[in-house]
Amino acid sequence: MVKVKHAKPESFYKVYERKLTTKKVTHYCPGCGHGVAHKLIAEIIDELGIQDRVIFLSPVGCSVFAYYYFDVGNVQCSHGMAPAVGTGIARTLENSIVISYQGDGDLAGIGMSAIIHAANRGENMAVFFINNAIYGMTGGQMAPTTLLGQKTLTTPMGRSTNRDGNPIGMCELINSLTAPVFIERVSLANPARVIKARRAFKKALFNQVERKGFSFVEVLSPCPVNWKMSPLESRKWIINKLEPVFPVQNFRDIEEKPERYERVEMSDEELLNLFKIEKEMEIKPKTKKISDQHIKIAGFGGQGVMSAGVLLANCAIMEGLNSTWLPSYGPEMRGGTANASVIISENIIGSPVVDNPNVLIAMNAPSLDTFEDQVSPGGFIIVNSSLINRKVKREDVEVLYVPASEIAKDLGLITTANIVVLGVYMVKSRVLDTETLKQVIPISIKKKHLTEVNLKALQAGIDIFKEEAGAHI
Ligand X SMILES: Cc1ncc(C[n+]2csc(CCOP(=O)(O)OP(=O)(O)O)c2C)c(N)n1
The residues of the shown chain that bind another protein, judged by CB under 8 A, are 1-9, 12, 21-22, 24-26, 28-36, 38-40, 42, 69, 190-191, 194-195, 198, 224, 230-232, 235
Tell whether residue 62 is a contact of ligand X (CB under 6 A).
yes
Give least dist CB 263 to ligand SF4, A.
36
Helix (H) or strand (E) holding 162: helix 161-164
Pairing of strands 73-76, 54-58: parallel
The one of ligand X, ligand SF4, another protein, none whose footprint includes residue 106, by CB under 5 to 8 A per kind, is: ligand X
Q: Using CB atoms, what's the residue nearest to ligand X?
A: 103
Nearest to 309 by CA among 448, 418, 454: 418
Contact 69, 58 (CB under 8 A): no
The one of ligand SF4, ligand X, another protein, none whose footprint includes residue 225, by CB under 5 to 8 A per kind, is: ligand SF4
Residue type, 227: W
Residue type, 428: K
The one of ligand X, ligand SF4, another protein, none whose footprint includes residue 143, by CB under 5 to 8 A per kind, is: ligand X
Tell whether residue 224 is a contact of ligand SF4 (CB under 6 A).
yes
Nearest to 147 by CA among 139, 8, 155, 44: 155
The one of ligand X, another protein, ligand SF4, none whose footprint includes residue 9, by CB under 5 to 8 A per kind, is: another protein
Binding-site size, ligand SF4 (CB under 6 A): 12
Give least dist CB 195 to another protein, A.
6
Stretch 229-268: interaction string toward ligand X, x if CB under 6 A? ----------------------------------------
Q: Counting Cβ atoms within 10 Å, is residue 433 exposed (0-12), middle (13-18) or buried (19+)?
A: middle
Nearest to 239 by CA among 171, 185, 187: 187
The one of another protein, ligand X, ligand SF4, none whose footprint includes residue 105, by CB under 5 to 8 A per kind, is: ligand X
The smaller minimum CB distance to another protein, of residues 12 and 214, is found at 12
Cβ neighbours, 10 Å, residue 454: 28
Pairing of strands 337-345, 293-300: antiparallel
The one of ligand SF4, another protein, ligand X, none whose footprint includes residue 22, by CB under 5 to 8 A per kind, is: another protein
Q: Which of 57, 60, 115, 308 binds ligand X (CB under 6 A)?
A: 60
User: Candidates 8-16, 105-113, 200-208, 271-279 — which segment interacts with ligand X by CB under 6 A?
Assistant: 105-113
Q: Which of 11, 34, 187, 402 binds ligand SF4 (CB under 6 A)?
A: 34
Give least dist CB 154 to ligand X, A.
11
Contact 55, 124 (CB under 8 A): no
Give least dist CB 365 to ligand X, A.
37
The smaller minimum CB distance to ligand X, of residues 61 and 224, is found at 61
Q: Which of 83, 86, 105, 122 binds ligand X (CB under 6 A)?
A: 105
The 3-state DSSP class for residue 384 equals strand
Three-state SS letters, 231-260: HHHHHHHHHHHHHHHCCCCEEEECCCCCHH
Return d(Cα 407, Cα 411) in angstroms, integer.
6
Nearest to 304 by CA among 418, 382, 407: 418
Tell whether residue 32 is a contact of ligand SF4 (CB under 6 A).
yes
Return d(Cα 149, Cα 126) in angstroms, integer.
32
The one of another protein, ligand X, ligand SF4, none whose footprint includes residue 195, by CB under 5 to 8 A per kind, is: another protein
Three-state SS letters, 178-236: CCCCEEEEEECCCHHHHHHHHHHHHHHHHHHHCCCCCEEEEEECCCHHHHCCCHHHHHH
Contact 318, 432 (CB under 8 A): no
Footprint (CB under 6 A) of ligand X, residues 136-175:
136-138, 143
Instruction: List residues near ligand X by CB under 6 A.
Output: 60-63, 79, 103-106, 110, 130, 132, 134-138, 143
Instruction: List residues near ligand SF4 by CB under 6 A.
Output: 28-29, 32, 34, 62, 132, 136-137, 223-226
